[in-house]
A and B are shown apart, each in its own frame.
Chain A
Amino acid sequence: MAKSMVQYLRQESYVCEVAYTASDAEEKIMLHEYDCILLDITLPDGNGLKILEKLKKERKLEGVIIISAKNSLEDKIQGLNLGADDYLPKPFHLAELGARVSAVIRRKRFEGNNTLKFHEIEVDLLGKSIRVNEKMIDLTRKEYDLILFLMSNKNRVVTKNAIAEHLSGDDAEVFDNFDFIYAHMKNLKKKLTEALCPDYIKTIYGLGYKFEA
């Protein structure tokens, strides 16, 4: 699992290091400064939440995303109370992980002053709006979510399944058809093209989409 995550994140040219045990992780945390730490709660030699406590005691500024197979509310609340930035229950789509990691890093790096730029596209993360060539485009909430999700996973294939789950949210029962994604995607592409934006969104067969220059 860790290997897949590393492999996926490296494609976005993140530098990743893996610690398989709690002691290993603690050592690495003390020695280095990271942008984002993905923390599994169940580690072979201890609870991941202990590491989180230690991090906060040392006043480290790393963003922390808790990953847990338990999917229990207590873990989530406890983790977030301890100062974790996000909580991702297993199983998750790697694209979802990519989006969350990039969100955490963005928050840490820009400290709230949040804009994301890609060529002529500028995303205002606070106002949840998008400008292309300095011109505001009117996007629906879902279209905004969609393009941000794709941009957070630049150069990687984002599967329809991951998009569907991301757009529907945790609670929604996902209906087994992706028509609504096609509809959103069609509208989004149309709006971008109208704003004279090159088509960065490539369709990868029936599998999904890829945002690339």
Chain B
Amino acid sequence: MKLLTRTVRNYVLFSALLLLISTPLFYFSIQWLFVKKIDRELRSHKSEFHELLPLLKTESEMNFFGLMNDELLLKESLYLMQNDSFLTADIFNAKENVIQPYRVLRTGVIIQGKPYQLQIQESMVNTGELIGAIVAIQVSLIALLLLGFVLINRKLSNTIWQPFYNILDKLKQYQIDKNNSISLPQSSTAEFRDLSLAISQLVKRNVEVFQIQKEFTENAAHELQTPLAICRSKLELLAQTKDLTQEQADLVESLLDAMDRITRLNKDLLLLSKIENRQFLETEEIEVKTVITKCLEIYRHKVQEKDLIVKLSLKETSPLKANTILVEVFINNIISNAIRHANKGGTVTVESTKSSLTVSNSGHPLERPEKIFERFHRESTTTVGSGLGLSIVKKICEVAGFKISYDYGSSTHHFKILFTEAAS
């Protein structure tokens, strides 16, 4: 749920509840106030009547009075009512010929020694209409208020939160290995300014750390080269020694083998960090087909040795615009990987079309296919690759804008590379 909907929903719920409760409450309280007011008026009528009472001497005067004030009604009664009683009743209005709600005050009076019941009545029609009108206005006002509130809140929230969404968009697009700095939109809101600042600083620190790490790998690999070269040459000199015994020769041999592996590993690490540092930028038009053919020629021996069947299907390709070294390393690595890991007597398939390259090799399924492109991840301990070959492939794809995917089906590993993105 979006933040906006969440806040608005709470507001709306509260307002609706308020409206629901307040409307009857409001209606009844207004009515109660009106009734009180009418009652007060009735009482004042009563006291007015008491003031007039001494003036009414005769029956005819009384009747005349009754005719003049049709809200007053005098009835002879058998006993004298001690208390005033108020009630609301529907009474027939002869003048307008309708039954209307009245507020009625009944009280007892003594006129000329006889007990009378005095009934003062006040029509509540006007009052009822007034209450209705007031409540209606009030309710529509509240409803309008609510609506406006929701609308304004929504609009305001949209504009207020806009910087936040902008920042979020920027963050989503940000990739530490691609962009160096992040440019966040400026906002006049203090909180968002703080957020921008905090994120910028975080990114800056991370970029620094990332840079240091990258440089470290490259520097370390670079610094290792000279001592490695010295080690190797000294070993080779040692191999030249006259009267080398079998035992010594074996030692030198295994040392040289280890040396070779370190050297290769180092070379791969250096290459990987150079690719990461974007040191291969110039692009040329490359014929993928040629590179593949050249590469397969290099490994012809290995293919023969493992009795592999190489199925080649190279369609006429349009030249690829990319860095020559990268493409060569890339194709070399992916094909040598397939040859290395194909089972003996298996099949290696290389298919290229206009915009894609598929390299497949038969073999057993991987235990952890999701880790296939990770550095130093090896499925088996028997192979002796540097463990960097496919990481380099992946890195080159990232740099060159290719898309690589791996899947396994019918006991064959497939690597599919889409070149299309490079064209755009």
Contacts and interface: CB of A to CB of B under 8 A. Distances in A.
B239 A171 contact: no
Interface in A198-213: 204-208
Interface in B352-411: 384-385, 389
B233 A5 contact: yes
Interface in A83-101: 90-95
B229 A90 contact: yes
Nearest to B323: A73
A173 B385 contact: yes
Number of chain A interface residues as a range: 35 or more
Contacts of B226: 1, 69, 90
Contacts of A95: 236
B249 A1 contact: no
A143 B230 CA distance: 29
B40 interface: no
Interface stretch (B73-81, B100-108, B328-336): B328-336
Contacts of B328: 171
B305 interface: yes
Given A204-B244, A207-B253, A7 B302 contact: no
A205 B325 contact: no
A33 B228 CA distance: 32
Interface stretch (B5-13, B128-136, B187-195, B260-268): B260-268
A176 B384 contact: yes
A71 B325 CA distance: 13
Interface in A57-97: 69, 71-73, 90-95
A94 B302 contact: no
Contacts of A94: 233, 236-237
Contacts of A205: 244, 246, 249-250, 253
Given A169-B298, A174-B264, A156 B229 contact: no
B270 A73 contact: no
B207 interface: no
A173 B389 contact: yes
Number of chain B interface residues as a range: 35 or more
A8 B240 contact: yes
A10 B121 CA distance: 138
A23 interface: no
Contact of B299 (A8, A172, A179): A172
A205 B245 CA distance: 9
Contact of B229 (A69, A174, A175, A208): A69
B384 A157 contact: no
Contacts of A165: 260
Contacts of A160: 253
Given A4-B230, A161-B256, A176-B261, A69 B239 contact: no
Contact of B234 (A4, A171, A208): A4
A114 interface: no
Given A159-B239, A168-B298, A93 B232 contact: yes
B302 A180 contact: yes
A72 B279 CA distance: 9
Nearest to A173: B336
A115 to B, nearest CB: 27
Contacts of A156: 240
B233 A171 contact: no
Contacts of A142: 301
Given A4-B230, A90-B226, 12 more contacts: A1-B229, A91-B232, A159-B253, A161-B256, A161-B257, A171-B329, A171-B332, A172-B332, A176-B257, A204-B244, A205-B253, A207-B239
13 contacts: A1-B226, A72-B279, A90-B226, A91-B232, A93-B232, A93-B236, A159-B236, A159-B239, A160-B253, A171-B332, A176-B261, A207-B244, A207-B256
